[in-house]
Structure 1
Amino acid sequence: MNFSEYVNEKTIYLGLDVANVQELFQFVANDLEKHNFVLPGFFDYLVSRENNYPTGLKLDNYAVAIPHGDPKYIQKPFVAVITLNHSIKVRQMDDANTELDVKLLFLLGMNANSTHLDLLKEIISLIQQESFVKKIGAAKTKSEVIKVIRQEEKK
């Protein structure tokens, strides 16, 4: 299963304006619930998990976050691609005392049947390429995001 198979127009959020990670999770969780990707409780789980297991990754010149939900709240497996107009603070995965400024997040919603670790590895290998991160960040349309992901997967 490829990363692009989990991304669709309903799971791409471009240029959001949010004040913090909690506001972001609330907005995205409500929208995903409306489109039957997640069940009620997904938002609370995300906040709790992020508080206990931060998901910010510091890379060379930028930072990305990869929050993920519990399979019991997932109706349809997905990856939400989220770009922000202004960065928000996310705690670093391997050092919870460090806050990172993040403008790009990949929110994973995998059920018990999906290949969560393989997908996570694929996403991490993609975000280590600054050109990929810049292309996603610059994308103006949802179809452009899907195209960038598919092009990178072919490489």
Structure 2
Amino acid sequence: MDEKIEEVFHDVLLLSDIKTKEEVIKKMSDYLLDKGYITDEYYLATIERETIFPTGLPTKPIGTAIPHSEAENVVKPAVILAVLNNTVKFSDMSNRENEIDVGIVFLMALKGENNQINYLRNIADFCKEEENVLKIYNSKCKKEAMVIFSEEILMQST
């Protein structure tokens, strides 16, 4: 990966009362836009991409999703994580007809196709482990979730 995870993983959002995938992507996009990581076009481009290429993963015990946009909508690379207090529906990455109840969302704003593919793979590998998903979903604060994710991803990349 061009950027190390500790350079691009910026924050964890604990979101409540979100009802749709569009809402969660909007909240996360607004956060990145306010911090100068993405362009105004990022949100709509991500929603459009999600329709064509869904990013829901049927992880256990709760689904995860990894929405992202193309590099032209990225100012500076960033990955953020949202833990939802209730699940929202995302279409399954491998079969868009299937819907997944998602409680953990990783929003990626990265440059370079190889970079995106590597991060997608690392995040998907992290989420394959039920224990990792459970720890993140049950984390009580942003710092706890950030430490769990950072430590596990750093171990994968060494």
Q: Which stretch shows the higher mean deviation, 141-150 or 94-103?
A: 141-150
One-letter amino acid of the counterpart of residue 154, structure 1: M
One-letter amino acid of the counterpart of residue 109, structure 1: A
- Partner in structure 1 of residue 150 of structure 2: 150
* TM-score normalised by length of structure 2: 0.88
Aligned pair count? Answer: 153
* TM-score normalised by length of structure 1: 0.89
Provide the aligned C-alpha RMSD in A: 1.8
- Partner in structure 2 of residue 138 of structure 1: 138
1:3 maps to 2:12: no
Partners of 2:88 and 2:150 in 1: how far apart? 27
Partners of 2:124 and 2:6 in 1: how far apart? 14
Distance 1:69 1:40, change over 3 A: same
Deviation at 1:47, TM superposition (A): 0.9
Question: Structure 1 segments of 4 or more deviating over 6 A?
Answer: none
- Partner in structure 1 of residue 63 of structure 2: 63
Partners of 1:68 and 1:54 in 2: how far apart? 10
Partners of 1:55 and 1:64 in 2: how far apart? 8
One-letter amino acid of the counterpart of residue 124, structure 1: A
Identity of aligned residues (%): 24
Deviation at 1:60, TM superposition (A): 4.3
The answer (yes or no) to whether the contact 2:57–2:64 under 8 Å persists in 1 is yes
The answer (yes or no) to whether the contact 1:56–1:66 under 8 Å persists in 2 is yes
- Partner in structure 2 of residue 13 of structure 1: 13
Partners of 1:16 and 1:80 in 2: how far apart? 16
One-letter amino acid of the counterpart of residue 112, structure 1: G
Deviation at 1:122, TM superposition (A): 1.1
Unaligned runs of 5+ in 1: none
Deviation at 1:61, TM superposition (A): 3.5
Partners of 1:20 and 1:150 in 2: how far apart? 27
Deviation at 1:125, TM superposition (A): 1.0
Unaligned runs of 5+ in 2: none
The answer (yes or no) to whether the contact 2:60–2:133 under 8 Å persists in 1 is no
3-state SS of paired residue (1:50): helix
Partners of 1:113 and 1:2 in 2: how far apart? 15
One-letter amino acid of the counterpart of residue 7, structure 2: E
Deviation at 1:150, TM superposition (A): 2.9
